[in-house]
C-alpha cells in the first residue's frame, strides 16, 4: 500500500467512532458513540434546513445563478474558519508527533496526511450544505444529470484552497511564535485571538446587507455581495461557471490550482516542520534565575496553579478557554467608548426602547461571553493517558475537582466584574444596582464552573489522540455549551420583561438566589461523581 494512504488510513482508524463502537466491550462507551452521532445528526439536519431555506428564497424570486455562488462562498468560509482553529492541534504540537516522526515518512508527507485527515473529518459539513443547495437548484432549474455530477465532484475540491490558506496562515503564526525563545505559545495565542476578533468584527460589515425591509431587495444586495466575493476570490466564480455553463476550463482551473497549491504549501511547511514542532514542545529557561525559598501551598491551590500552567501551555486550549473572556473585555471597553444606549440602538435597529429596562440583563450579557466554555469542561479529559498518575497520587478526587473549579473561578471572575462594571457605568446604573449585578455575575461564574465540571466528569474522554478532540469536539463541550447559551439568551429576554414590572434590586436578588441554588446543586453533583 502507498505510504501516504497507509498513514492516512491509520490516522482515520485510530479515531473512527464506528471502529470504536465495533470493537469496544464497554457499553457506556458505545452509548456515548451513539449519543455523539445523534447530536451530529441534529446539527447536520439544522445545517441542511438552513441551506434549503436560503436556496428556496433565491429560487422563489427566479434568482437561480446566485445559488451556486452562495454555496461556494459558505463552504469556503466554513473551510477557512474550521481549519484555522484546528491547525495548531492537528498540524502542529500534536501528541503523537514523536511517534510519527520516528517512522519512515518525510515531514511533508506527515503534514500533508494530517491536512487530509482534517479535510475528511470536515467533509460531512460541506456535503450537507452542497447537497441541500444542489437539490433545490436542480429542482427549480430542471438541471440534467451532468450538472449534478459536476456539482457533487467539485464539492470535494472546493474546500481545498481555503483550507490550504488557513493552514498556511496557521503555519505563519506558528513560525512567528517559534521564533521567540520565550513565551512562543503566548505569542501564537495573541496572534490567533487578534484574527478571531477581526472575524467577529466582520459581522457588523455583513449586517449592513440586511438593513432593507424588502425581501427581494435584500436578496439582491446579498447577490451583489456574493458577486463581489466571486470577483475577489476566483474559485467561487470557477465553481459557479462550472455549474451554470458547464465550463470545462473552470473545472480544470479549480482542480489544477488546488493540487498545485497543496504541493507548494506542504513543501514549504515540510521545510520548517521539525523546527516549529520542536520549538513548540520546548521550554526556554530564564537567564536571570534566582534561588528563592519554597512557599507552602494548599493542595487545592497547587492544582489550580497546575490548571493555569496547562491552559497557558496549549494554544488551542487558551484560544478556546480565554476567547469569551477577551470578547467580554472588548465589549466592555467598546460600551464605555460608544455608549450602552447606542449599542442597544444598533442591535435593535433603531427600535424605541428605553435602555433603563435593559439594565437587569447586564450580568447575563456579560455571562454570554464569559460562560461560552468553562475550563472545567475540558480539564478532566485533558488528563488523557496520564490520568493513572492522578489516580495514584494521595489526593482525593474531591480535592482534584475543587482545584479545577477554583482555577476557573479565579480566571473568570475578574473578566466578569470588569465587563459588568463597564456596562453599568455606560448605562448609568445606580451604585446599588451595580453591586447587585456584580454579585449576580460572581454567582453565574460559580454556576458555570460547577456545571462545566459536571459535564466534564460525566462525559470524560481519556483516549483522545489530539487535544482538539477534547477542547472543541467533545460531547462534554457540546452538552455544556448549547443549553447554556440558549438558556442565557432566554434569561436576557425574561429579565428585560420582568424588569418592566418590578424593582431591579428585587429582581437581581431573586435571580441571584436561583443561580446560587443551581450552582450549589451542580457542585453537589460534582462531589457525588467524585465519590464514584
For residues 270 and 325, state if they share a domain. no
Of 248, 281, 337, 372, the closest CA to residue 92 belongs to: 281
Domain end (from 281, 310, 329) = 281
Residues 225 and 340 in one domain: no
Q: Are residues 196 and 307 in the same domain?
A: no
294 belongs to a structural domain:
no
Do residues 221 and 304 share a domain? Answer: no
77 within a domain of the structure (yes/no): yes
Residues 55 and 107 occupy one common structural domain: yes
> What is d(CA 159, CA 496) in angstroms, rounded to the nearest whole number?
43
Write the Ramachandran bin of 296: left for phi over 0, alpha for psi from -120 to 50, otherwise beta: beta
Tell me: do 496 and 524 sit in the same domain. Answer: yes
How far is 458 from 377, CA to CA, in rounded Å? 10
Q: Are residues 492 and 431 part of one domain?
A: yes
Give residue 142's region: left, alpha or beta (phi > 0; psi -120 to 50): left
Same domain, 420 and 523: yes
In a domain, 289, yes or no: no
Give the three cell numbers for residue 121: 473529518
Give pTM, 2 decimals: 0.61
211: phi then psi, degrees, rounded to nearest 5: -75, -30
Q: Which residues contact 186 (CB under 8 A, 6 or more apart)?
A: 312
Residue 516: Cβ within 10 Å count = 17
Predicted confidence at residue 446, as pLDDT, reads 93
Single residue among 281, 311, 329 that ends a domain in this structure: 281
Is 155 among the domain residues?
A: yes
Q: Could you tell me if 303 and 157 lie in one domain? A: no
In a domain, 291, yes or no: no
> How many other β-carbons are positioned within 10 Å of the β-carbon of residue 440?
28
> Does 353 lie in the same domain as 461?
yes
Q: Is residue 138 part of a domain?
A: yes
CA distance 41 to 451: 25
Domains identified in the chain, total number: 2
| Alpha carbons 186 and 456: distance in angstroms, whole number | 25
Report if residue 456 sits inside a domain: yes
Residue where a domain terminates, one of 249, 281, 313: 281
Digitized pLDDT (tens) for each residue of the chain, 532 residues in all: 566 677 777 777 776 777 777 777 777 778 777 877 787 788 788 888 888 888 887 788 777 888 888 888 889 888 887 787 677 667 766 666 667 777 777 777 777 888 888 888 889 889 999 999 999 998 888 888 898 999 999 999 999 998 888 888 777 766 665 554 444 455 455 555 555 555 555 444 444 444 444 445 545 555 565 556 556 778 888 888 888 888 888 899 889 998 898 888 877 877 776 666 666 555 444 445 455 555 566 788 888 888 888 887 776 777 777 778 888 888 888 888 888 888 776 666 555 566 677 788 889 889 988 888 888 988 888 876 666 666 666 778 888 889 899 999 999 999 999 999 999 998 888 889 899 999 999 999 999 999 999 988 888 877 776 677 777 767 788 788 777 777 777 777 788 778 777 888 888 899 899 999 999 999 999 999 887 7
pLDDT number for residue 318: 77
- Contact status, residue 430 vs residue 505, Cβ threshold 8 Å: no
Question: Rg for the chain (alpha carbons), in Å?
Answer: 25
Check residue 413 and give its pLDDT. 92
User: Are 341 and 263 part of one and the same domain?
Assistant: no
For the chain, the first-to-last Cα distance in angstroms comes to: 47
Q: For position 206, what pLDDT does the model report?
A: 44
Does 293 fall in a domain? Answer: no
Query: What pLDDT was estimated at residue 407?
Result: 92
Q: Which domain holds residue 124?
A: 3-281
Q: Are residues 137 and 202 in the same domain?
A: yes
DSSP code per residue over 425-458: HHHT--HHHHHHHHHHHHHHHHHHHHHHHHHHHH
* Distance separating alpha carbons of residues 126 and 48, to the nearest angstrom: 10
Amino acid at each position: 500500500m502507498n505510504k501516504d494512504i497507509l498513514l492516512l488510513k491509520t490516522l482515520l482508524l485510530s479515531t473512527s467512532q464506528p471502529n470504536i463502537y465495533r470493537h469496544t466491550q464497554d457499553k457506556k462507551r458505545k452509548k456515548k458513540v451513539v449519543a455523539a452521532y445523534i447530536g451530529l445528526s441534529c446539527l447536520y439536519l439544522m445545517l441542511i434546513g438552513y441551506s434549503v431555506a436560503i436556496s428556496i428564497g433565491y429560487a422563489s424570486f427566479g434568482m437561480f445563478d446566485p445559488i451556486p455562488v452562495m454555496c461556494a462562498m459558505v463552504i469556503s468560509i466554513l473551510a477557512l474558519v474550521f481549519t484555522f482553529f484546528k491547525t495548531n492541534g492537528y498540524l502542529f504540537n500534536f501528541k503523537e508527533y514523536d511517534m510519527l516522526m520516528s517512522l519512515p515518512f518525510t515531514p511533508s508527507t506527515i503534514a500533508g496526511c494530517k491536512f487530509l485527515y482534517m479535510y475528511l473529518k470536515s467533509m460531512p459539513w460541506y456535503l450537507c450544505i452542497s447537497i441541500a443547495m444542489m437539490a433545490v437548484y436542480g429542482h427549480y432549474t430542471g438541471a440534467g444529470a451532468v450538472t449534478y455530477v459536476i456539482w457533487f465532484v467539485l464539492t470535494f475540491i472546493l474546500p481545498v484552497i481555503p483550507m490550504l490558506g488557513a493552514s498556511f496562515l496557521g503555519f505563519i503564526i506558528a513560525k512567528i511564535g517559534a521564533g521567540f525563545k520565550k513565551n512562543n505559545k503566548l505569542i501564537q495565542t495573541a496572534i490567533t485571538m487578534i484574527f478571531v476578533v477581526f472575524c467577529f468584527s466582520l459581522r457588523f460589515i455583513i449586517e449592513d446587507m440586511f438593513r432593507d425591509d424588502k425581501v427581494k431587495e435584500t436578496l439582491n444586495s446579498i447577490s451583489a455581495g456574493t458577486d463581489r466575493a466571486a470577483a475577489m476570490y476566483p474559485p467561487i466564480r470557477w465553481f459557479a461557471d462550472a455549474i451554470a455553463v458547464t465550463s470545462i476550463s473552470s473545472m480544470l482551473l479549480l482542480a489544477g490550482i488546488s493540487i498545485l497549491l497543496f504541493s507548494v504549501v506542504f513543501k514549504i511547511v515540510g521545510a520548517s516542520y521539525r523546527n516549529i514542532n520542536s520549538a513548540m514542545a520546548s521550554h526556554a529557561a530564564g537567564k536571570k534565575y534566582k534561588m528563592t525559598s519554597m512557599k507552602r501551598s494548599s493542595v487545592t491551590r497547587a492544582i489550580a496553579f497546575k490548571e493555569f500552567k496547562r491552559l497557558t501551555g496549549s494554544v488551542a486550549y487558551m484560544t478556546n478557554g480565554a476567547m469569551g473572556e477577551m470578547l467580554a473585555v472588548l465589549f466592555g471597553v467598546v460600551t464605555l467608548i460608544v455608549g450602552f444606549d447606542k449599542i442597544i440602538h444598533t442591535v435593535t435597529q433603531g427600535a424605541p426602547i428605553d435602555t433603563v429596562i435593559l439594565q437587569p440583563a447586564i450580568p447575563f450579557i456579560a455571562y454570554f461571553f464569559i460562560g461560552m466554555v468553562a475550563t472545567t469542561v475540558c480539564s478532566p479529559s485533558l488528563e488523557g493517558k496520564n490520568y493513572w498518575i492522578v489516580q495514584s497520587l494521595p489526593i482525593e478526587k474531591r480535592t482534584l475537582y475543587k482545584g479545577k473549579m477554583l482555577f476557573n473561578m479565579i480566571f473568570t471572575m475578574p473578566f466578569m466584574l470588569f465587563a459588568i462594571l463597564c456596562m453599568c457605568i455606560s448605562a448609568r446604573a445606580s451604585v446599588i444596582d451595580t453591586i447587585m449585578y456584580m454579585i449576580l455575575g460572581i454567582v453565574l461564574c460559580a454556576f458555570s464552573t460547577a456545571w462545566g465540571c459536571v459535564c466534564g466528569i460525566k462525559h470524560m474522554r481519556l483516549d483522545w489522540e489530539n487535544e482538539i478532540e477534547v477542547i472543541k469536539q467533545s460531547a462534554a463541550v457540546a452538552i455544556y455549551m448549547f443549553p447554556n447559551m440558549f438558556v442565557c439568551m432566554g434569561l436576557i429576554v425574561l429579565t428585560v420583561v420582568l424588569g418592566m414590572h418590578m424593582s431591579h434590586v428585587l429582581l437581581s436578588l431573586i435571580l441571584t438566589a436561583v443561580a446560587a441554588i443551581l450552582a450549589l446543586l451542580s457542585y453537589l453533583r460534582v462531589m457525588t461523581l467524585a465519590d464514584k
